[in-house]
């Protein structure tokens, strides 16, 4: 049997641990593993490499992805997907493991629609895949944002400032809300909370009137210009205000223990599913366990996520 694997979309800490687990599990079961360079781009350009056990040594602790990643918009085109499948079939590859976010999973569904057996492993700092409680990379990115906001708190307190911090997550507020809980932020704004500038300014003004020395406001990306918001806070509330965009540091760095374990469990399961002839599935985290679920369900069925804002309210 031959299995190919790729990483796609934004890189996430723990992708290397997932690659390692897929390759080493293949070696365990006498399956040939082939790494594809730069996501779907390498699939279309026929950029494959046979991977051995030693090729994935010394990397469980490394951020990024040794296979490289890319965004290939043309993969939405059926002809481009067919070209990728031609390359896979030419090499007699029996199944493919794709490691990435929701977009990557849509690519997996496009491959399945053309009858190519595919398994998705969720890896994105955004935690925006419905059917899995957590995605690989999310908690590592959270550690990074938590450490950064802790540092901002030091200077924010010292200078009696209102500190506005922009956190990544595309359209999903999870990284922002978890950052807010773990750093004790006073206000968190995400697409789920909605953006009501007047109300935010009123709340900050109220904190000032109550004698609060400083404030942390976490704002998810794609909501508003945080520099402009800081200016408005300074003009309207009496706080000196500054904005910081955390940006791509959230994508890098060594994966946390949680992400390494999650990636290892999911990598093993992905290979075992293909070995058993199962596909069109994603690996998902459910509590402390790793399970599998159909790609369409994982993407489109609304998950019953806990309402984390509840915790924030009580901690204010």
Ligand X SMILES: O=P(O)(O)OC[C@H]1O[C@](O)(CO)[C@@H](O)[C@@H]1O
List, edge to edge, every strand of the sheet that includes 187-189: 187-189, 215-220, 161-167, 240-245
Question: Residue 101 interacts with Mg ion (CB under 5 A)?
Answer: yes
In the complex, least distance from residue 253 CB atom to ligand X, rounded to whole angstroms: 13
Q: Which of residues 148-207 bind ligand ATP (CB under 6 A)?
A: 170
> Does 82 interact with ligand ATP (rule: CB under 6 A)?
no
Q: Give min distance, CB of 9 to Mg ion, in A.
A: 6
Please pick, among 11, 38, 126, 128, the residue that the annotation labels catalytic.
126
Decide: is 186 part of the binding site for Mg ion (CB under 5 A).
no
Collapse the DSSP code of 14 into the 3-class scheme (helix H, G, I; strand E, B; otherwise coil) and give the result: coil
Smallest gap from Cβ 81 to ligand X, in A, equals 21
Secondary structure letter of residue 253 according to DSSP: S
Instruction: Report residue 172 as tokens.
Output: 């999903």
Closest residue (Cβ) to ligand ATP? Answer: 103
| Beta strands, E only, the chain | 2-7, 32-36, 48-51, 95-100, 118-122, 161-167, 187-189, 215-220, 240-245, 281-286, 289-294
User: Which residues on adjacent β-strands are paired with residue 147?
Assistant: none
Instruction: Please name every residue paired with 243 in a beta bridge, in sequence order, or none if there are none.
Output: 164
- In the complex, the smallest distance separating the C-beta of residue 39 from ligand X, rounded to whole angstroms, is 12
Backbone CA torsion sign across 38, 39, 44, 46: positive
Tell me how far apart the alpha carbons of residues 141 and 122 are, in angstroms, rounded to a whole number.
15
For residue 100, the partner it binds in ligand ATP, ligand X, Mg ion, none, with Cβ less than 5 to 8 A by kind, is: ligand ATP
> Which of the ranges 27-35, 44-52, 166-174, 255-263 carries the binding residues for ligand X, by CB under 6 A?
166-174
Binding interface with ligand X (CB under 6 A): 9-10, 71, 124-126, 168-170, 221, 251
Residue list, annotated binding site for ATP: 10, 71-72, 101-104
Residue list, annotated binding site for ADP: 20-24, 153, 184-186, 212-214
Catalytically active residues are 126
């Amino acid at each position: 049997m031959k299995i190919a694997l790729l990483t796609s979309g934004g890189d996430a800490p723990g992708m290397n641990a997932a690659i390692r687990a897929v390759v080493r599990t293949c070696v365990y079961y006498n399956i040939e593993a082939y790494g594809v360079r730069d996501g779907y781009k390498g699939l279309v350009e026929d950029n494959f490499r046979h991977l051995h056990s030693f090729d994935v040594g010394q990397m469980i602790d490394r951020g990024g992805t040794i296979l490289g990643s890319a965004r290939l918009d043309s993969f939405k085109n059926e002809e481009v997907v067919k070209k990728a499948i031609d390359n896979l079939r030419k090499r007699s590859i029996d199944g493919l493991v794709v490691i990435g976010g929701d977009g990557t999973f849509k690519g997996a569904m496009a491959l399945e629609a053309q009858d190519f057996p595919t398994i998705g492993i969720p890896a994105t700092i955004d935690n925006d895949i419905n059917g899995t409680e957590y995605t690989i990379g999310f908690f590592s990115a959270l550690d990074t944002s938590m450490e950064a906001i802790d540092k901002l708190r030091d200077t924010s307190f010292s200078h009696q400032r209102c500190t506005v911090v922009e956190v990544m997550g595309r359209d999903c507020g999870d990284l922002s809300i978890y950052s807010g809980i773990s750093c004790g932020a006073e206000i968190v704004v995400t697409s789920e909370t909605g953006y009501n500038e007047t109300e935010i300014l009123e709340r900050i003004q109220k904190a000032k009137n109550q004698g609060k020395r400083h404030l942390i406001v976490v704002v998810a990306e794609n909501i508003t210009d945080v520099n402009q918001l800081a200016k408005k806070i300074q003009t309207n509330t009496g706080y000196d205000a500054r904005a910081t965009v955390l940006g791509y540091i959230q994508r890098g760095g060594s994966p946390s223990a949680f992400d390494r374990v999650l990636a290892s469990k999911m990598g093993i399961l992905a290979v075992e599913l293909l070995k058993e002839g199962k596909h069109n599935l994603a690996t998902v985290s459910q509590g402390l366990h790793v399970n599998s679920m159909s790609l369409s369900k994982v993407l489109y069925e609304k998950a019953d996520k806990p309402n984390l804002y509840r915790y924030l309210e009580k901690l204010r």
